[in-house]
């Protein structure tokens, strides 16, 4: 969980440097866990609104859940982009490679493979290897 909060607190809009795989994937793990939990709250509100079981609670949960979901996604858009770009820097790719994810079907797969690759050993043009620094 510290990896998630470290990205938000200390590296919120830091696009330079490198991010090791552990930092990237731990951020993505907790981002998706929180996203699913907020989505479940919204879904419970939608379900209870459609069945009529909780006539007051349903719209409240849907409304609050939707607002929290929008704030969550937009609030974490910058750190998510930053950690992905730093991850690309770690394998000695330009941050502009993030745009490959916009290509339908194949783009997200290429970006996924890039994010799974091991760090480039030693120092590259984006900085020193974070594995050597963080250990």
The per-residue pLDDT for range 49-77, each reduced to its tens digit, is 555 565 666 677 778 888 999 999 999 99
pLDDT at 123: 87
d(CA 91, CA 29) in angstroms, rounded, equals: 20
| Banded pLDDT at 121 (limits 50, 70, 90) | confident
**CA 116, 89, 2, 40 torsion: positive or negative?**
negative
Q: pTM surpassing 0.85? A: no
pLDDT at 99: 95
The arithmetic mean of pLDDT across residues 71-100, rounded, is 94
d(CA 98, CA 113) in angstroms, rounded, equals: 12
The answer to whether 114 and 97 have CB atoms below 8 angstroms apart is yes
């Amino acid at each position: 969980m510290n990896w998630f909060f470290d990205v938000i607190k200390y590296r919120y809009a830091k696009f330079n440097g490198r991010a090791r795989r552990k930092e990237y994937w731990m951020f993505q793990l907790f981002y998706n866990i929180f996203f699913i939990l907020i989505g479940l709250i919204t879904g419970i509100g939608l379900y209870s609104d459609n069945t009529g079981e909780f006539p007051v609670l349903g719209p409240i949960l849907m409304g609050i859940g939707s607002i929290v979901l929008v704030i969550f996604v937009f609030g974490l858009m910058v750190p998510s982009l930053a950690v992905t770009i730093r991850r690309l820097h770690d394998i000695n790719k330009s941050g502009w490679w993030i745009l490959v994810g916009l290509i339908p079907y194949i783009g997200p797969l290429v970006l996924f493979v890039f994010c799974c690759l091991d760090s480039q050993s030693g120092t590259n043009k984006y900085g020193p290897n974070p594995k050597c620094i963080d250990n």
